[in-house]
Amino acid sequence: MHIPDGILPAEVAIAGYVTAGALSWYSLRRINQQPDPEAGMPKAALLTSAFFVASWIHIPVPPTSVHLVLNGLLGIVLGWYAFPAILIGLFFQAVLFGHGGLTSLGVNATMMGLPALLALLFFRLRHRLRLDNRNWTGIFAFLSGMGGLVLAALIAMTVLIATIPADLDVDAEREAIYSLTLAHVPLGIIEGAFAAALVLYLLRVKPELLET
C-alpha cells in the first residue's frame, strides 16, 4: 500500500503533494472552526501512534501478505483530525523505516487520507438517515472501516497502473498489481470488523469520544 521512492514519475509525486496540501489545509480549517480545536488533540495523537504501528501487523493473504492500515477507522474516530494524523504517521514511517518514501509522501497521504475523510462522511450519514441506534452504528462503522481501506487500495492500484514504466513488462506488472489489490479485500473485512468492534466498545464505555 505504501508506495516507495523511485516508483512514481515526478509529476505524479508533485500532484500528490498538491492534493495532500489541499486536504491538509481544508482539514485544518475545519478543525479551527470547532469551538475548541485542542479538544481532539489527545485522541488524534494516540491514534497517530496506532496508525504508525499498524503497518507492522501483517496478515497473510496467500500468496502474499498485507498489513493493517486503519485509515477508515481514523476517519471515523478522529473526524477532521484524521488527515493530519495520517500525514504525520506516514512521515515517521518513511523517515524512520523507509516504509513509503518522502517523494511519494503526498501521494500516499492522499491515497490513505482522502478515503479516511470519505469514510467519515459516510459514517456521519447515519445521523441524517436516522439510523443511529447501536446496531446501525456498528454496521456503518464496519462499512466505513472497510470502505476506507478498499478505496485506498483502489487508488493505489489506479496510480500504479497508470504509471508503469514502459521498460517493464507492463502486463506482468499489471497482473501483480491486480493480485495485490485483491489481497486487500480480506484485509478490508478485518479492518471493518475492527472499526465496528472499537466503535461499539467506545459507545458503551466512553461515548463522548465518538462525537463524529
Q: Site residues (CB under 8 A) for another protein?
A: 1-4, 6-7, 38-39, 41-46, 48-49, 52-53, 55-60, 64-65, 67, 92, 96-99, 134-135, 138, 156, 160, 165, 167-169, 172-173, 176-177, 179-180, 190, 193-194, 196-197, 200-201, 204
Q: Least distance in Å: CB of 203 to another protein?
A: 9
Query: CA–CA separation, 161 vs 173, rounded Å?
Result: 8
Q: Least distance in Å: CB of 55 to another protein?
A: 4
- Whichever of 7 and 15 has its CB closer to another protein, that residue is 7
Query: What does the chain come to in residues?
Result: 212
Q: Least distance in Å: CB of 153 to another protein?
A: 11
- Whichever of 19 and 163 has its CB closer to another protein, that residue is 163
121-130: long-range pairs with CB below 8 Å, 24+: 122/147, 123/75, 123/76, 123/212, 124/212
Of 78, 61, 68, the C-alpha closest to 152 is: 68
- Whichever of 41 and 121 has its CB closer to another protein, that residue is 41
Q: Least distance in Å: CB of 123 to another protein?
A: 17
Q: Least distance in Å: CB of 19 to another protein?
A: 18
Q: Least distance in Å: CB of 4 to another protein?
A: 7
- Whichever of 14 and 57 has its CB closer to another protein, that residue is 57
Question: Can you spell out the DSSP letters for 160-174?
Answer: HHHT--TTS-HHHHH
How many angstroms separate the Cα of 191 from the Cα of each of 63, 71, 94?
Answer: 20, 9, 22
- Whichever of 1 and 76 has its CB closer to another protein, that residue is 1
- Whichever of 29 and 64 has its CB closer to another protein, that residue is 64
Question: Can you spell out the DSSP letters for 38-106?
Answer: GGGHHHHHHHHHHHHHHTT-EEEETTEEEE---HHHHHHHHGGGHHHHHHHHHHHHHHHH-SS-STTHH
Do residues 59 and 68 make contact, with C-beta atoms less than 8 angstroms apart? Answer: yes
